[in-house]
Structures are given as C-alpha cells and as structure tokens.
Chain A
Amino acid sequence: MSGVRVLVGTRKGAFVLTSDEGRTRWDVAGPHFAGWEIYHVKGSPLDPSRLFASQSGGWFGQLIQRSDDGGASWSPVGNEFSYDGEAGTHQWYDGTPHPWEFTRVWHLEPSVHDPDTVYAGVEDAALFRSTDGAHSWQELAGLRRHGSGPSWQPGAGGMCLHTIVQDPSTADRLFVAISAAGVFRTDDGGGSWRPMNRGLRSEGIPDPDADVGHCVHRIALHPARPDVLFMQKHWDVMRSDDAGESWHEISGNLPTDFGFPIEVHPHDPDTVYVVPITSDAHHFPPDGKLRVYRSRVGGLEWEPLTRGLPQQDCYVNVLRDAMAVDSLDRCGVYFGTTGGQVYVSADEGDSWAPIVRDLPAVLSVEVQTLP
C-alpha cells in the first residue's frame, strides 16, 4: 500500500511524519537531533530510504546526517565545506567588501540522476557537490567566480544559496537561487554559470536591467516541462517560459505578491501554489488569514484555498523551503509554519488539516511518495 513520508526541519530538531495514502492518520517520529537547527531534510529520488539532513547550530557549527533506513537511524557524514582556493570577497550590507565565510547549509538536493550525488547550497552563497553520498564535498566554484560574485550582497537572512533545481531531462543543467543575487543556470554540470534575471524588477536597484541584486525567494519547475519556471521573488510572482532567459510577472489577483515558497502540482504543470505574506515588514498573512493560493492556469488568475486553515488571528510565516507536494493520484500539498504547524491537503489544496500543531518553528518540509 502506498503512503507518504513528510520530512520536517525545525529550529529544534527534525521530525518524520508518515501516513498511508489516505493522509488522515499520522505517525510522528522525532525530534531527531533535538536542540539543533535543521534547515533541510531531503530524500534521494532514486533511493527513498536514503535521507540527508542539514544539522547546524551557533555553538558547534555544521553537520550533515545521513540515513539509509528512511529516517529510523542516522549517521554523521562529511561536514567540511571549504571554498575552493582564495574565497575572495562579496559586498557587505554597507557596500564594503567582506570575505566569504561559511556559515551553514541551507538546502540539500539529492541528484535525480545518481544516488551518490548530492548538492548543498550554503551561506555565504556557494554550491557544493558530493559524489560519494555526502562523505566529502567539493565546491562548484564556477558559480562564485563567473564574474558578478564580488557584487553579491546578503539579504536580511544572510547571503544564502537556498534553492537548487535540477532539470530532470538534462543532467548538466541546474538552476540555483541566491538571496540577494538572483537565479543562475549552468548547462555544463556546474562548471560555468550565467545569471538568469532578465525581466526581474527590484525596488531599490537603480538599473532595471541589473544582472544580479535580486532577492529571489524560491523557484520551481514541473519535470515534464522543465523550460517553464515559476518564481516567488521578495515581491512579485514571476514566470519564465524559456528556462530562465527572461521572466514576466504573474502575480495577477493575489492579495499581495510577497511570499516565500512556490510549488507546482506534480501532475499538472499549470497548477501552481503560493502562500501570500503581507509584506517584507510584516512576515505574516494578510488580515490574519492563512490562505494558500492556487492558479490552475499557470499564473495571473489565483483562487484562495482556506478550508481548514485558520481564518482569523493567524500571524505565522511560511518559509521558502517549507512547502511540498506528493505525487499520489490526488496530489497532497504540505506546508509548515513558523508557529510549528504542519498542514496537509489530501485533495490538491481544496481542504486542509493540521498533522501537528506544536512543533518548533518549521524551517523546511519535504515529502516522499512511497510505493
């Protein structure tokens, strides 16, 4: 019987939530790595028993944990993230040069092509790759060195590489997103990179055609249509129909186009989910109402999804890595909040229920669809 395994990273540990395909009765396991910040947990699409977790803390730094039994047991693996050669400088908040310093791993992306390959997006922004199942890491330094690196600046959350998107049809093509630099693409497996930010407009950047300096919060694609990308930017929901070469706005009738996550329906490339957040000054839903918005037509026209979600006095946030979709026939949609709730919809977003209500602040949510 098929089922789902939801991998939740929080400020104080990781949790594994499992259910059968009904997605109404849940088993909650955890906390794993209690007391540590777990920025991300993700499973290999090629070997679902193999999970990777980013475990970090201000005292004792960065660890990477690996499980080979679906999260029942874990072992620390490689945690040395050394920038390739001279790290150089990027811009600091005041515009002065600041040395690149490793802080943490924000995002782990197991390869869709090779079970031993994993990518790690880190702060200060860089992309690392392991080809031995996370035992050792090498920087794909062409990203930092492609030219604009010295002008990258951190966002309020730090200068992080937080999104890694693979093109399942082309092993050598990857997209990454960096706050607050923008989107970059490689077509040669990570050797060389280009900024892919044409069409983005960001308040405060005097040059409307600036290659970098854009606070991209998240990008997503559907594997069957990998040239179509969706983006939640700091402000604006955007779409590209040419693999990131150009972008146009699809915010349409959203109540606000600020937000963090964006996801695409697993069976319908034109169905997209976002969670509008009031503003960069107010990181909570408009009017105290927690609403997911769904477009069935690839953007511009959005409908609020509210059934089962709090519609008054709700002032949580939903972070960029904290939304996921499963691939059951009637797809499930999941998201976690900074208030510690993880919600599930087993009917494509039409209705919602909390799986858990009182976890630590949720940093990330991933889901595995199990046979």
Chain B
Amino acid sequence: MIRVALPAHLRVLAGVGGEVELQVTGPVTQRAVLDALEARYPALRGTLRDQRTGQRRAFVRFFGCEQDLSHEPPDAVLPGPITAGAEPLRIVGAMAGG
C-alpha cells in the first residue's frame, strides 16, 4: 500500500483523520498515486492539479524521503521507500504569507 500524507484542509475535504493508504497498480509514479487518490476521494479533484491539463497547482508541493519531488516528471517512479510503503508521499501547501 502507498501512504499519502495530506495537508489539513484536504484531510477535512476528504473526510480522513490521518495518512491515507492507497492501492496503486503498475509503476508507482506521482501521476498514478494522484489518480488513485482522486478516484478514492473525488472531492480532491482539482485541488492538487488542474483537471484539464493535469498540471500541479502552483502552491502544492510533493515531498518524500527528505526530497522535494514537486518538479519530478509525473510519470517518474517515486523513491523506493515510498513505493514500498515505508515512507509516505507528503503533499504540502507551500508556505505563504507573512
């Protein structure tokens, strides 16, 4: 199972209390994880990436294994600990404001 940690606003929207666990078939890529996430929690559609283009929203970042994965190609396989379920893919709202 793939673990995903959502930011607070999206946990409320999805109606979950903590990390979510997803079954991902095929290569575990950013796109495959987001597809599985949105399929399970349709309320999240459009909150992480544009519904038409699939482009990541500007203030949404992806982290995992102490790396910023936000700019990785969406079809690149995620780091081993994430694909193995040992580490979560962390979805973060970028820090903003003052």
Residues of A whose CB lies within 8 Å of any CB of B are 34-36, 57-63, 76, 79-80, 82
Cross-chain contact A80 with B9 (CB below 8 angstroms) = no
Cross-chain contact B52 with A61 (CB below 8 angstroms) = no
Cross-chain contact A59 with B93 (CB below 8 angstroms) = yes
Q: A76-B13, A76-B43 are in contact. Are A58 and B96 (CB under 8 A)?
A: yes
Cross-chain contact A82 with B60 (CB below 8 angstroms) = no
CB distance from A200 to the nearest CB of B (A): 36
Number of cross-chain contacts by CB at 8 Å: 43
CB distance from B15 to the nearest CB of A (A): 10
The size of the chain B interface, using a CB distance under 8 A, is 20
Q: List 24 contacting pairs A-B, 8 Å CB cutoff, sorted by A.
A: A34-B12, A35-B9, A36-B9, A57-B9, A58-B59, A59-B57, A59-B59, A59-B60, A59-B94, A60-B9, A60-B10, A60-B47, A60-B48, A60-B60, A61-B46, A61-B47, A63-B13, A63-B43, A76-B13, A79-B45, A79-B51, A80-B45, A82-B51, A82-B52
Cα separation A76 to B60 with both chains bound (whole Å): 20
B-side interface mostly: loop
Cα separation A307 to B4 with both chains bound (whole Å): 55
| Residue of A60, A63, A79 most packed against chain B (CB within 10 A) | A60
A-side interface mostly: loop
Cα separation A59 to B12 with both chains bound (whole Å): 15
Given A34-B12, A59-B7, 13 new contacts (CB under 8 A)? A36-B9, A59-B9, A59-B57, A59-B94, A60-B10, A60-B93, A62-B46, A63-B13, A63-B47, A76-B42, A76-B43, A79-B45, A80-B51
B8 CB contacts on chain A under 8 angstroms: 35
B93 CB contacts on chain A under 8 angstroms: 59-60
Which chain B residue has the least Cβ–Cβ distance from A55?
A: B13
A62 CB contacts on chain B under 8 angstroms: 46
Cα separation A80 to B9 with both chains bound (whole Å): 19
Cα separation A63 to B8 with both chains bound (whole Å): 16
B9 CB contacts on chain A under 8 angstroms: 35-36, 57, 59-60
Cα separation A360 to B57 with both chains bound (whole Å): 26
Q: A76-B13, A80-B51, A82-B52 are in contact. Are A60 and B57 (CB under 8 A)?
A: yes
Cα separation A116 to B88 with both chains bound (whole Å): 41
A57 CB contacts on chain B under 8 angstroms: 9
Q: Write the B31-66 contact mask toward A (1 if CB under 8 angstroms, else 0).
A: 000000000001101111001100001011000000
